[in-house]
Amino acid sequence: MALESHEKIKVLDEYIEILKQDLLFSMAERKRKPENNMTHNIITTKQELDNAVQEKMRLSQIYYGNVNDSIALTAASA
């Protein structure tokens, strides 16, 4: 399960990078030639990016555990 989550996180990282590039390209194109469908593309790409980041955060919490718990335990034992 942990390996599977790690692989999913890796794939999501790659997908997030692609979405970032698409978003930047769409924003640059919109400046060059403002069209209504370019705005739609930007919004759609941004929504996909937000969803991918949320999914990565969820999987990271499962794979790595809650980082705040380990910090609290370390601080309490010190």
For the chain, domain boundaries: 2-77
Type of residue at 48: E
Which of the pair, 71 or 42, is modelled with greater confidence? 42
The CATH T-level fold of domain 2-77 is Methane Monooxygenase Hydroxylase; Chain G, domain 1 (1.20.58)
Q: Measuring CA to CA, which residue among 47, 48, 69, 61 is closest to residue 8? A: 61
Res 73: pLDDT: 46
pLDDT in tens, 3-43: 687 889 999 999 999 999 999 999 998 888 877 788 888 99
pLDDT for the residue 69: 53
Q: What pTM was estimated for this model as a whole?
A: 0.70
Question: Is 60's pLDDT higher than 60?
Answer: yes
